[in-house]
Amino acid sequence: MSQVHLGHIFHVTGQPTVQEAANALVSIPDGALVVDGEGRIAYCGARAEIPDEFRGLPPMDHRPGFLLPGFVDTHIHFPQTFAGDAYGGGQLLEWLTRCIYPSEAQLADPVYAQRAAVEFCARRLAAGTTAAMVFGSAFPQAQDALFAETRRRGLRMVSGRGIQTTGESSVAPLITSEEKAIRLTESEIDTWHAVDTGRVDTALLHVAVVPRFALAVTRATLRNLGELYDSVRDRGVYFHSHLNENNRPGTGEVDSTKQVYEVESYLDTYDGKFMPGSQVGGKSLLGRRSILAHGVHCQDAELRRLAETGSSIAHCPVSQQFLGSGTMPWKRTIAAGVTVAAGTDYGGGDEWSIPRVLSAAFKVHISEPGEDGVSMHPAEMLFTGTLAGARALDMESRFGNFDASKEADFLVVDPAGTPSLEATLAQGVRSDDPVLARDQTLFALLMGMDESTIAQVYVRGRRVDDR
Ligand code: GUN
Ligand code: ZN
């Protein structure tokens, strides 16, 4: 049975680049979204023009609310569910040592891990995140709890256990042997990859191969993971890690990685070129299902290589501010042709909400120095938080906007849930130019919305926030 939803629709149609997003922005103030019995978009358009076959159906009237595609978070840490706003008195590497490794070690306790899985799914759902690339726990039973709870809540997720095979004493509980690292990853793929439907192209659940970052693993691990990944690529398995995040002089992650591996670029470590002098030592982990978080300090050659392999960057400006990592250069990164999608990086970021990430992106990029500064178009912001995320997950053909026959992942956004937003939308001055007025409304919405604005969440046409 089809469902008709009424509201002000915003989405980015087609398959545009981020530079083309403004021209692809669709705004339908008196809109109707029709979802068929299989959870696919049957119609997205003006209410007045609903096709005859759906006219008699009793609509779900969300007006004066909005209908937006579900948000896609391309980088978020499950084992940091209870580690937001952790104070360690330092930047990335100090914060990991003092706050994060001890927090993540708690998930060895199955009761704690189950609590974390329930809270993690509740928080991402409340934030309107319908699909996510989730950096997993080191502990298999914690990952089992995460996959099971995600399935119960009907959400989309790609996740894999965080792999660590080397590190300092504070990280010891998270480290495994070389052999066990591979065995546990293989077993997670066999247990959870596409388990919900048995088919990778219809599943909501997928598995990724996730070394924490190059500094947390050895050359042998990278070589073994390259072999493993090569053997499961055609099953639609993902690769996920961190890249070029923090370059604090002396103690930064980028310089440390290049020194430890003796490579020309950080990306080489994931590209099979992890031997001294960036000599090839194994198979590449890059590709269309590979997402690297941050990319703040990429060389031009690294951006070119990400683009040519179809790998994506999870852009996490809230986290980059929290950890003092700097600003991913917006113009240079998108000019290289790399897909850039939004990530919260919770608990490196202290927001669960993709709109809060988009708001931070707007602020940091308008503040980039000189010619690099850019005022992001609201359509670029919406694109980065929705369709670009679906593209980064290599599932653009399935969701990310309201094009006909896509799976209907959408949010009912009710400004009344956030009085300051409601007042801004009702009283704010709008341009006489209808296009600018449209953009002003979308901008106000994205900048001003938060969890309390999100009234209902649907994945594949099914409401998922009421379970
Ligand atoms: N690099 C390695 N581990 C982490 C992590 O947990 N968070 C962030 N932001 N960066 C990392
Ligand atoms: Zn991260």
Ligand 2 center to residue 350 CA distance, Å? Answer: 12
Q: What are phi and psi of 389, to 5 degrees?
A: -65, -45
Residue from 452, 408, 422 nearest 60 by CA: 408
Cα(226)–Cα(269) distance, rounded to whole angstroms? 11
Q: How close is the Cα of 347 to the center of ligand 2, in Å?
A: 8
Q: List the one residue out of 134, 135, 110, 294 whose CA is nearest residue 204.
A: 134
Q: What is the mean pLDDT of residues 436-451?
A: 97
In this predicted structure, the answer to whether residue 412 has a pLDDT above a threshold of 70 is yes
Q: Which residues fall within 8 angstroms of residue 166, CB to CB, at 6 or more apart?
A: 175, 216, 217, 218, 221
Q: Alpha helix (H) ranges present in 177-309?
A: 178-192, 219-232, 253-261, 300-309
Band (pLDDT 50/70/90 cuts) for residue 89 is confident
The answer, yes or no, to whether any atom of ligand 1 lies below 6 A from the CB of 315, is no
User: Is residue 425 over pLDDT 80?
Assistant: yes
CA of 428 to the centre of ligand 2 (A): 37
Domains of the chain, with CATH numbers? 3-69+402-464 (2.30.40.10), 71-367 (3.20.20.140)
Better-predicted residue by pLDDT, 210 or 250: 210
Q: What angle do CA 154, 319, 382 make, to 5 degrees?
A: 55
256 within 8 A of 246, measured Cβ to Cβ? no
**Ligand whose nearest atom lies closest to the CA of 92:** 1
- How many CA within 13 A on the CB side of residue 211? 27
Task: Report the pLDDT value the prediction gives residue 250, as an integer from 0 to 100.
Answer: 75
Classify the C-alpha dihedral 410-415-421-426 as positive or negative.
positive
Q: What's the gap in Å between 409 CA and the centre of ligand 2?
A: 25
State which ligand 1 atom lies nearest to the alpha carbon of 135.
6
Contact of 104 with 79, CB cutoff 8 Å: yes
End-to-end CA distance of the chain: give it in Å, rounded. Answer: 21
- Ligand 2 centroid from CA 103, angstroms: 14
- Which residues are bridge partners to 67 per DSSP? 9, 412
- Comparing 361 with 168, the larger pLDDT belongs to 361
CA distance 175 to 162: 9
What pLDDT shows up at residue 251? 73
Residue 119 confidence (pLDDT) above 80:
yes
Atom of ligand 1 nearest to the CA of 349: 9
Does the beta carbon of 294 sit less than 6 angstroms from any atom of ligand 1?
Answer: no
DSSP per-residue codes, 229-258: HHHHGGGT-EEEEEES----TTT-HHHHHH
* Pocket residue to mutate for ligand 1, from 212, 313, 357, most atoms within 8 A of Cβ: 212
Q: Is residue 211 within 8 Å of residue 222, measured between CB atoms?
A: yes
Question: Closest ligand to 97 CA?
Answer: 1
Q: Phi and psi (nearest 5°) for 400? A: 115, -25
Is 242 close to ligand 1, i.e. is its CB under 6 Å away?
Answer: yes
Residue nearest to atom 9 of ligand 1 (CA): 348
Give dist(CA 89, CA 94) in Å, integer: 8
322 pLDDT band, cuts 50/70/90, is very high
Token digits of residue 442:
């979308």
Predicted confidence at residue 211, as pLDDT, reads 98
Whether the pLDDT of residue 11 is over 70: the answer is yes
Pocket residue to mutate for ligand 1, from 73, 107, 137, 213, most atoms within 8 A of Cβ: 213
Q: Per-residue pLDDT for 85 more than 70?
A: yes
Ion ligand 2: residue ranges with CB closer than 5 A: 293, 345
Distance from C-alpha of 226 to C-alpha of 220, rounded to nearest angstrom = 10
Cβ of 345 below 6 Å from ligand 1: yes
Ligand 1, closest atom to CA 213? 2
Handedness of CA 216, 218, 221, 226 (dihedral sign): positive
Ligand number nearest CA of 348 is 1
Please, which pLDDT band fits residue 249 given cuts at 50, 70 and 90? confident
The model's pLDDT over 121-144, given as tens digits with 9 standing for 90+, comes to: 999 999 999 999 999 999 999 999
Q: Which atom of ligand 1 is nearest to the CA of 104?
A: 6
- Residue 90 per-residue DSSP state: S
Distance CA 438, CA 451 (A): 23
Q: Is 369 exposed, middle or buried (0-12, 13-18, 19+ CB in 10 A)?
A: exposed
Cα–Cα distances in Å, from 212 out to 96, 134, 216, 331, 441?
Answer: 11, 12, 6, 28, 39
Q: What is the pLDDT of residues 262-304, one digit of tens each?
A: 999 999 999 999 999 999 999 999 999 999 999 999 999 999 9
pLDDT at 170: 87
Which atom of ligand 1 is found nearest the CA of 345? 9
Q: Which residues pair with 159 in a beta bridge?
A: 134, 207
Residue 467 confidence class, pLDDT cut points 50, 70, 90: low
Average pLDDT over residues 207-234: 98
Residue 252 has pLDDT above 90, yes or no: no
Query: In the predicted model, what is the mean pLDDT of the chain?
Result: 97
